[in-house]
A and B are shown apart, each in its own frame.
Chain A
Amino acid sequence: MAAGRVRPDNPSRTAYIRQMRPQDILIPTPAGLCCKPGNFHIDPVRPVERAVITHGHSDHARAGHGAVLATQETLDIMRLRYGDNFAGSTQAIRYGEEIKLGDVTVKFHPAGHVLGSAQIAVSCKDTCIVASGDYKDARDPTCAPLEIVPCDVFITEATFGLPVFRHGNAANEVKKLLASATLFPERAHLVGAYSLGKAQRVIALIREAGYDAPIFLHGAMEKITRYYENKGIALGELKPVRGMKKADLAGTITLAPPTATSDIWTRRFPDPVTAFASGWMRVRARARQGGIELPLVISDHADWDGLTATIAATGAGEIWVTHGQEDALVHWCRTRGLAAQPLDLVGYGDEEESEMPGEGDDA
């Protein structure tokens, strides 16, 4: 798949090209996706002068940039995680709002990934490129739904870019969890979930399923979850697990970062059932490797059907595929007559990977 990779352009060639090519608008660089005519980077992995950020996950939103443009929620989340001085200056932008940056205009659209997550449409003259960041087309009561943005070039993630990844209905997975809690009332249920987005979505789904007992939180979950609540997302009664007696945790459900569900921390729970909410749980070897007893296929990324449907729906003729299983998705695009290339970007998707239990420790 090496052929046709989007690579840094040779400046000497640009002189005689009359029309704006997509590579002239956005180009991968070691720091991240760079917009030269607008003088900014999207989700840069190194400190840059001007950063435009899709969402608050730490592989996309890093501290130390000069100026940051993002949704208010993403800025708030970055502040919660990195402290007040995470950037030189910040500017908030609403969904649907358009901003002129240098020679390009930038417009934010909901990505349906986590609270505040956005796709960024970058337009220059007649060409529109949408950098979608991470996205999902599945329903999520804790964030705005994905908006299909018609464009010429669509930059898609490929975290679950294989046809074996179909996430199904998240509500059914939550039913599995609740059925298990009913069957084993003397055990505690520990649900590993990424602390930004996934945890709150799982809690909201548990509430939708009619479970109204208190849900317990690992300390690392509290800040972000309270922020969601402050944003008006109802999550029912939440309690810190800290200070609870072991016996009192029987029959309860606790949300924790995945690394915590397989470590010493779990010894405070009576005979815990270890669950993990992730799209990776679709593959049995993956779940077994992590020592998971109750895999819950709940993902904040689009599954294969979601990726392909979204790509098709944008109407884009050219698709750039990044972080994940690029090969399969590029192949699929080409069989559909779409020009598709893997994009040379590094540093994304690492965070969720490292959140697999059994791979980190003592967190």
Chain B
Amino acid sequence: MNRFAALLDRLAYEPGRNNKLRLLEAYFREVGDPDRGYALAALTGALSFKHAKPGLIRDLIMERTDPVLFALSYDYVGDLSETVALMWPKVGVTHDESFPGYPPHQPSPAREEGAQRSPGQSKSKLPSSEISRNGRSALSIPSPLAGEGQGGRYRGLDARDALRPRNHNNPPPPTLTEVVTTLRTLGKTELPRRLARWLDELDETGRWALLKLVTGAMRIGISARLAKAAAANLGNKDPHEVELIWPGLSPPYSDLFAWLEGRGDKPVNLDPAPFRPVMLAHAIEDADFAALDPTDYIAEWKWDGIRVQAVAGRDTRGHVQVRLYSRTGEDITGGFPDLAPSLHLPGAIDGELLVVRAGRVQSFNVLQQRLNRKAVSPKLLKDFPMHLRAYDLLADDDNDLRELPFAERRAKLEAFVKKLDDSRIDLSPTIAFDSWEGLRTARADPAGAGADAEAVEGVMLKRRDAPYLPGRPKGQWWKWKRDPHIIDAVLMYAQRGHGKRSSFYSDYTFGVWTSGEDGEQLVPVGKAYFGFTDDELLQIDRFVRRNTTEKFGPVRHVVHEPGQGLVLEVAFEGLQRSTRHKSGIAMRFPRINRLRWDKPPRDADRLETLEKLLKEDAAKNLVTSDSH
């Protein structure tokens, strides 16, 4: 458990994707089965046990610490699990053990270090337990369960655990396997005692990780896909291969690791509704069109929703199993119980998840209400009904269609959707065009898409003869996004970036003018940290350093006066009301489009411009107005 905790700890601070992969891969290489398998399960969200409530954790620490000290500590740290992990009293190791000199080579786990006494002074020697245990009983009683789990059961190779010196009074810290398998079966009443025992046995980082695990709050910026990719690296396999067999696997994935390490056959995916790696499009540039023949392509609207793969298949008993996958292969079925029953025929649809009310597709802002939710209330189901707009068919019953040209798949899709005959699933219409100029006109005015125009974010071009290929194959699919909104805003604050950018001011808060109590003033409307070139980053960084008016921790206030400052051309996809921002507005996908060195800040845009844009959007979304 301590080794897994050390991994989580390091991952939590590491900003780079490739570095995260390296850390994960090193862990999988170093740690044996079944611990690494349970680690993979924890990272991919595949563990299932009843989570402990924060109240339970609080009770445990209250029994063991002075309430004033706990309150002061919690106030300082700000996170319950972390506070408890850090201040959990040590058991069984006494401070005086290390007096008067230093211990030999292997330190005690608690404290290797000590101070020397003034010669001849012993009057002040206190009972050791009083020092090490805040007001609890002086004796450390080894748990009667101490030896459990070491007999017949395989303990895994949690390397650091194995190397830890052990005081015979101290039971060894639990392995990740022990924690996970115990939590699965442990009754509610036994949990506090067991948790307390583990907390006694683990180190600070181990306790932190354990508490995050049992409370189900393990947010460390690792996607399931990244964890699987790291496992794939172990055997130099394509992550897609792991993704394909993943739904048929279960923790601790010994068969997967055996295959990856060349010790076993490739596991077979027996899932009746497996995920298939998705095909992605390239962004098209104006220069690309010259080489493309319009007759080779079919055009569709690009929907501003969530790409999803909806799969239905018959299990061994003949029942239809339905799964919705995100474009990265994560199973998101649980969040959409209203849509799943509509997929009553075996097949695999590639399409867009949208909210449709009264026959109209709602904007992405509305759709967001349904995303990333574990539980969906009846009210949410009613107010935000889900819809699938289908644009490709990867499988029809048992037949894999991915080798077929797109035009043929499209024909089969049309037939399939018709056969489904469900109001929640419809076909994404194609756009008739005979020249790129014609398509450009349609894209500029998507009213051709009928009442759904506001959910269109551009057009898609798909080669008629393209098979369905995983990844982003060149020249097959193109996305041609609608032009973004553009405003000129003034740089107000800059903050240093992370990782490679930690020496650069690369996160920018920008504002627009508004009339305030003190006359004209800038109000922040957004934050952007990409869109610029490396060279532009250097230029802005230099500007920030030379024009700082105030420093606030890692944040710099940059000069922003009517006649002095830097104007940034900011591109963004849409606006939303927000109570979190002083301006009352939040931007979607803002990025720095251009640096306007030529423009004085006084000529930058005003808040009214954004307000107007917001009103226009709201007018288009009349139906949605009740939701905010």
Contact = CB atoms under 8 A, between A and B. Distances in A.
Interface string A263-302: 1111100010010000000111101111111110000000
A331 interface: yes
A338 to B, nearest CB: 12
Contacts, number: 155
A163 B86 CA distance: 8
B69 A331 contact: yes
Given A109-B118, A305-B95, A361 B551 contact: yes
Given A164-B83, A164-B87, A288-B13, A137 B115 contact: yes
Interface centre among A180, A313, A362 (most CB of B within 10 A): A313
Interface in A313-331: 313-315, 325, 327-328, 331
Interface string A320-363: 00000101100110010000000000000000000000110110
Contacts of A165: 86
A291 B114 contact: no
Interface in A168-201: 168-171, 176, 180, 183-184
Contacts of B78: 285
A362 B204 CA distance: 35
Contact of B121 (A148, A164, A183, A358): A148
Contacts of B113: 137-139, 169-170
A129 B72 CA distance: 28
A293 B14 contact: yes
Interface stretch (B125-133, B223-231, B333-341, B356-364): B125-133
Which residue among A266, A285, A294, A309 has the maximum number of chain B CB atoms within 10 Å of its CB?
A309
Residue of B26, B112, B502 with most partner-chain A CB within 10 A: B502
Contact of B10 (A150, A170, A271, A294): A294
B19 A184 contact: yes
A168 B73 contact: no
A328 B19 CA distance: 39
A359 B553 contact: yes
A109 B12 CA distance: 42
Contacts of A164: 73, 76-77, 82-83, 86-87
A287 B107 contact: no
A171 B109 CA distance: 11
A183 B134 CA distance: 40
Interface in B351-399: none
B137 interface: no
Given A149-B118, A163-B65, A169-B107, A283 B82 contact: yes
A274 to B, nearest CB: 6
Contact of A327 (B72, B132, B553): B72
A312 interface: yes
A176 B500 CA distance: 21
B86 A263 contact: no
A358 B10 contact: no
Contacts of B553: 289, 358-359
Interface residues of A, number: 63
B10 to A, nearest CB: 7
A162 interface: yes
A317 to B, nearest CB: 11
B68 interface: yes
Contacts of A282: 86, 204
Interface string B196-238: 0000000110000000000000000000000000000000000
Nearest to B131: A309
Interface residues of B, number: 59
Given A162-B72, A287-B13, A294-B10, A168 B203 contact: yes
Contact of A266 (B66, B68, B502): B502
Contacts of A225: none
Nearest to B86: A164
Contacts of A139: 102, 112-114
B403 interface: no
Interface string A113-149: 0000000000000000000000001110000011111
Given A148-B121, A262-B503, A312 B131 contact: yes
B545 A305 contact: no
B563 interface: no
B498 interface: yes
B95 A309 contact: yes
A166 interface: yes
A183 B65 CA distance: 39
B131 A308 contact: yes
Contacts of A262: 496, 502-503
A294 B498 CA distance: 13
Contact of A315 (B19, B87, B123): B123
B76 A283 contact: yes
A291 B554 contact: yes
Interface string B492-512: 000010111011000000000
B73 A293 contact: no
A152 to B, nearest CB: 12
A331 B135 CA distance: 13
A310 interface: yes
A168 B88 CA distance: 13
Interface string B12-24: 1111000100110
Nearest to A358: B554
Contacts of A290: 554
B76 A162 contact: yes
A32 interface: no
Contact of B118 (A148, A180, A295): A148
Contacts of A176: 6, 10
Contact of B124 (A150, A288, A361): A150
A332 B117 contact: no
A112 interface: yes
A293 B77 contact: no
A154 B464 CA distance: 85
B400 interface: no
Contact of B13 (A292, A312, A358): A292
Contacts of B72: 162, 325, 327-328, 331
A294 B11 CA distance: 10
B79 interface: yes
B66 A168 contact: no
B355 to A, nearest CB: 35
A305 B82 CA distance: 18
Of the listed residues A145, A162, A314, A332, the one surrounded by the most CB atoms of chain B closer than 10 A to its CB is: A162
Contacts of B554: 289-291, 358-359
B307 to A, nearest CB: 32
B131 A150 contact: no
A304 to B, nearest CB: 8
Interface in B95-148: 95, 102, 107, 109, 111-118, 121, 123-126, 130-132, 134-135
A139 B466 CA distance: 68
A190 to B, nearest CB: 10
Q: Which of B13, B14, B109 has its CB near the most chain A CB atoms (within 10 A)?
A: B13
Given A184-B22, A284-B12, A312-B124, 8 more contacts: A163-B65, A169-B107, A169-B109, A171-B107, A271-B500, A305-B90, A315-B121, A328-B72
27 contacts: A139-B102, A145-B114, A147-B115, A148-B118, A150-B123, A162-B69, A162-B73, A163-B69, A163-B87, A165-B86, A169-B109, A169-B113, A180-B10, A267-B503, A290-B554, A291-B498, A294-B13, A305-B111, A308-B131, A312-B130, A315-B121, A331-B68, A331-B69, A335-B66, A358-B496, A358-B553, A359-B554
What are the 7 tightest A-B residue pairs by CB atom distance, in nearest-first order? Answer: A315-B124, A164-B86, A138-B113, A358-B554, A139-B113, A146-B115, A137-B115
